[in-house]
Structures are given as C-alpha cells and as structure tokens.
Amino acid sequence: MNTDTGDELLCKVFDMGVYQEKIRPYGILPAHKNVAGIRDIILGERKAYVFLDKDFGDMHTLVKSCRRLDEEHACRLFRQVAQAVAHCHQAGIVLGDLKLRKFVFADEKRTQVRLESLEDCRVLEDPNDDSMSDTHGCPAYVSPEILSSSAPYSGKMADMWSLGVMLYTMLVGRYPFHDPDPATLFSKIRRGQCCLPEGLSPKAKCLLQSLLRKEPWERLTANELFAHPWFHQPPSSQEVALGEQEVSSAEQMVPSFDVEEDDDLFC
C-alpha cells in the first residue's frame, strides 16, 4: 500500500542485477492510459521492489467466466488492448509474450483495460528492424513463423498474430488452435487454418482473417487495425448467436493453465 495516498499497489520483485533492464522500457515508452506505469521503486540490498497500480482481474479470467463475449463488449475491450500494442510498437517496443492474462482491468466495473507490465517486452535498438529469434511465449498464442523456421521473424507481426488469437478467444470462447498434445497443436498452428463459427458477424470474421494470416506480411499492422470496419460499426442485435455446440466441449473452452501457460515453447 502507498503510505502517502493509501492506494493499494502491485509489487514486482527483481534481482538487483536485472531490475534496471526490466524497467528500461518504462523510461522509453511515453505514458499511456492502457499501459501500466511504475508508481514507486524501493531498492534493497539484493532485491528491487517495483510498485505498479493494483488491478481488478485479468481478461483471461473474464472470458473464462463469461464463456465468450458478445461483439459489442469484445470491441470495447479489444480496442483498448490494440491501443496499448500500437502505442508500444510506435515507440519501438515489441511485446512478445502477448496473451489475455497480460491485460488487466483498471476499475472494479472491468471496463478499463491496461497492459499489466512491460517486463517481458523487447526494446528495439533500431526502430526499423524488429527481427527476433527467441521462442519464448505461450504455445496457444505463438505464430506459425516462429515454429516453422529458425530464421529471424518480425516481432511486431508476431504480436499481431497473438492479437488475432486473443480476439478469437474473446469472441468464440476457445483458442483458434488447441490440442492437449503440443506436437499436434504446433502442427495446426503451422498450417494456419482455423474454423470461424457461423455466429460471428462478417466484419468480425474479416478482422480475424486479417490477423490470423499464415504469412506475417499479410497481417494488419497495429496502426492499420483501427481502420477496420469492425471497430466503426457495432454489430446488429439481430446477429445470430453462436450455437451451443460451438462452446459445449470442454476441450474447446479456454483452459485453465497454471505453470504450463508460461513455459517456454521449447525446453
């Protein structure tokens, strides 16, 4: 708790040897309402204690409890997610391990979304070169190019794929690519073909297809995303709801991960 204001804060603890690198992005990124900022830092002998604003739950938990979100609700939240990503990309920061759990609510009503932290992001030394080679991330959100080649890939375009996975999960209630067997899961992702339920509006399907493209250069960039019609025309209340068969299977639901979701792709 902040003794001056009485506000509850979230504390992250880092070893002294790495904390400066962990907080470096905060000094580069201009303040933004959809990205958490550092409130205070306390340095100990061996540990650094970094304090950020308290949150009111994450988006993974919300989607799991609601099973799926209607398009109007999803649009309000996803717009804020995309604004955070676009802001980071513009400042030369690639987020890398993007997933629903990384986005939290800033208010009790769960209407204001922000990126929970920047500790796992990558700061680009050259703003014009976002080449990456590491394979850290959640398997359900990883892009095909990371799995298909050892060659460098575009970090920003990998982020856009992860945004597509997030939006699909919000609208459908399950990951676009899911299998309990990692080898089968990665095979599905490499093919890059997922089923779009009939209950989604044409604009939602179009946006998902524009993000979940196998070829990275064919995906929308973060700035291009906001020009898509899905953001500008609310879906009709007459839209056909997703059938129960789309979300009845336990295998199709957003799974609860403990340790596995945060494991590296390759051990």
CATH code, 49: 3.30.200.20
| 115: pLDDT strictly greater than 50 | yes
Residues 260, 127: Cα–Cα separation, whole Å: 33
* pLDDT number for residue 234: 56
| 237: pLDDT strictly greater than 50 | no
Lowest mean pLDDT of 10-24, 26-40, 98-112, 136-150, name the range.
136-150
Residue 2 located in a structural domain: no
| 113: pLDDT strictly greater than 90 | yes
Q: Domain limits at 36?
A: 9-53
193-209: per-residue pLDDT in tens? Answer: 888 988 999 999 999 99
Residue 107: active-site member: no
| 81: pLDDT strictly greater than 80 | yes
Residue 1 located in a structural domain: no
What CATH number does residue 88 fall under? Answer: 1.10.510.10
Mean pLDDT of the chain: 86
Residue 120 located in a structural domain: yes
* pLDDT number for residue 119: 84
The average pLDDT across 10-28 equals 92
| 223: pLDDT strictly greater than 80 | yes
* pLDDT number for residue 5: 57
* pLDDT number for residue 6: 60
Lowest mean pLDDT of 8-17, 126-135, 178-187, 258-267, name the range.
258-267
Give me the catalytic one of 55, 58, 97, 159.
Answer: 97
* pLDDT number for residue 4: 56
Residue 4 located in a structural domain: no
Residue 267 located in a structural domain: no
- Judgement on whether residues 64 and 47 belong to the same structural domain of the protein: no
- Please count the structural domains in the chain: 2
The pTM assigned to this predicted structure is: 0.84
